[in-house]
Structure 1
């Protein structure tokens, strides 16, 4: 982690609360970026650290080379990823933005966006979605995603775009549309109630991160460069995050034990603490 990272200010918090996202200074040094890029290569090749147990079993790479790859809880099988997604500096930043005294890892992700090629105008798109659309088993929508770029990232290589202030809309039904590649159709769907839709690109130099609220609509377009776009992502939650049954299933519920109970905190070793005040 980069040394001498400045503390967040009240202006940073106000920006986040107004926009639904915030762009960090450089968090990773160049050596760490290189190691994480190599971690991507190792994970997708099936070269794991530790006992080699991936969250969903065997990791399969899509047969279509233009399709995005996404893996949850890569920290289980790669030490470099674990060091980043459990880093207390990131935890302290997230704690300030969420206004909480403790931050735990909900889960991480490795995301690999290949070059889209020239045959599919939507290949590699990430549809407009809200992260909390997938996380409704969590009692607390005040969660945050830390998306860390492992190369300079802009709209040419499929950088993320956020919808300004959309976290204030609350949870929109059926917003779990990460893999829906028709972004224009999704935009029409989510603006049907005359919501103001203002897209803002998250331009990130290598090692920088975007922190966005779990209700912020975001998505990304094609990577039209010749190199893959690599990222490591930490999804984080505050202290008071409990299991909420009777909603959309999430695999994290299985990590609470054989018979999870309503109101049970996501607070065991599967959800490590990054920061506690």
Structure 2
């Protein structure tokens, strides 16, 4: 199946009732997060879970170039948190979920953008509680900290649990309004399970009432701003937790060259996967790596 054929599957009208209202968008702009209603069917989520399990077992529909360095858990890597990046580029079942038009339509409303492209995605698995459950926490971080070569300040992430998500099974937490804090500019703590040290790391007090758990029913999706500080708690349930994070870029996003503190050029795996633009720089509009989720072929919103 070609990329274009996969992009065309499932394109249909998106129901206006599922999209954020202007009041919802204004709230997102204040808090940095939004919870959508149940927009995804159970069958699609169940299929994605089976696809992720097959991915863990070694199945790949496509092989990405070895030169691109990214996390892609395989048997033998241990049984803590499993992080498989660029999963939709390798796995058709995950791609079917990631490319749902409703995800892009919601993101476009929240970002006030005419179009939304995929930037990357992650399939994240947390094993059930055994022993040191703290090891299954995902640390406080901002997505923007890992996307410093992006010019956009409006990128966002859809977080999709493949079942009900609650505090007990390690749901996502977002700190209200943190996307407006300058201290969040370079906060990379994804692999640091010490969730209690965030105030010390930030150098500021964080009132407990600002920390919001994304408690979702199966089919619901949460969205958070690229600069929103977020983490997920340990999985203390008796069953694994499956989730897919879909990182999305607005149409205006392009590549910008940057160097690290030691003077080395910053190179994302995205840069190693996509085609160059006319100037020889990574092209963040390459449809093979960054396909358009919205509007794509779903160019209409169905009004009640």
Q: Structure 2 length normalisation: TM-score?
A: 0.82
**Could you tell me how far apart the structure 2 residues matched to 1:86 and 1:53 are?**
19
Q: Which moved more, 1:141-150 or 1:74-83?
A: 74-83
**1:50-69 alignment, distance < 5 Å:** 51-53=62-64, 59-61=73-75, 63-65=77-79, 67-69=80-82
Matched with 1:104 is: 117
Matched with 1:182 is: 194
Q: How big is the shift at 1:187?
A: 3.0
**Could you tell me how far apart the structure 2 residues matched to 1:257 and 1:76 are?**
15
Matched with 1:18 is: 30
**Could you tell me how far apart the structure 1 residues matched to 2:257 and 2:178 are?**
26
Contact map agreement 2:19 2:36 (CA 8 A) in 1:
no
Contact map agreement 1:61 1:69 (CA 8 A) in 2:
no
Q: Which moved more, 1:123-132 or 1:173-182?
A: 173-182
Structure 1 residue ranges without an equivalent (≥5):
none
**Could you tell me how far apart the structure 1 residues matched to 2:284 and 2:111 are?**
17
Q: How big is the shift at 1:64?
A: 3.2
For residues 220-266 of structure 1, the C-alpha deviation after alignment (integer angstroms, 9 at most, x for no partner) is 11101111100112100111111111244321122344688587641
**1:193-232 alignment, distance < 5 Å:** 193-194=204-205, 198-232=210-244
Matched with 2:302 is: none
Equivalent of residue 258 in structure 2, options 211, 227, 246: 246
Matched with 2:294 is: 275
Q: How big is the shift at 1:177?
A: 0.9
**Could you tell me how far apart the structure 1 residues matched to 2:280 and 2:28 are?**
31
Q: Say if 2:89 is the partner of 1:70.
A: no
For residues 158-178 of structure 1, the C-alpha deviation after alignment (integer angstroms, 9 at most, x for no partner) is 000000110111463540110
Q: Say if 2:163 is the partner of 1:151.
A: yes
Structure 2 residue ranges without an equivalent (≥5):
1-9, 260-265, 300-304
**Could you tell me how far apart the structure 2 residues matched to 1:31 and 1:85 are?**
14
Over aligned residue pairs, what C-alpha RMSD do you find?
2.5
**Could you tell me how far apart the structure 2 residues matched to 1:42 and 1:145 are?**
24
Q: Which moved more, 1:102-111 or 1:240-249?
A: 240-249
**Could you tell me how far apart the structure 2 residues matched to 1:268 and 1:63 are?**
31
**Given the superposition, is the C-alpha separation of residues 53 and 173 from structure 1 closer, same or farther in structure 2, using an over 3 Å criterion?**
closer
Number of aligned residues: 273
**Could you tell me how far apart the structure 2 residues matched to 1:138 and 1:260 are?**
17
Q: Structure 1 length normalisation: TM-score?
A: 0.89
Matched with 2:6 is: none
SS in 2 for 1:71: strand
SS in 2 for 1:154: coil
Greater percentage in helix: 2
**Given the superposition, is the C-alpha separation of residues 62 and 187 from structure 1 closer, same or farther in structure 2, using an over 3 Å criterion?**
farther
For residues 5-40 of structure 1, the C-alpha deviation after alignment (integer angstroms, 9 at most, x for no partner) is 523211211221111000011122111121111111
Structure 1 runs of 4+ off > 3 angstroms? 1-5, 51-59, 61-64, 193-197, 256-265
Matched with 1:6 is: 18
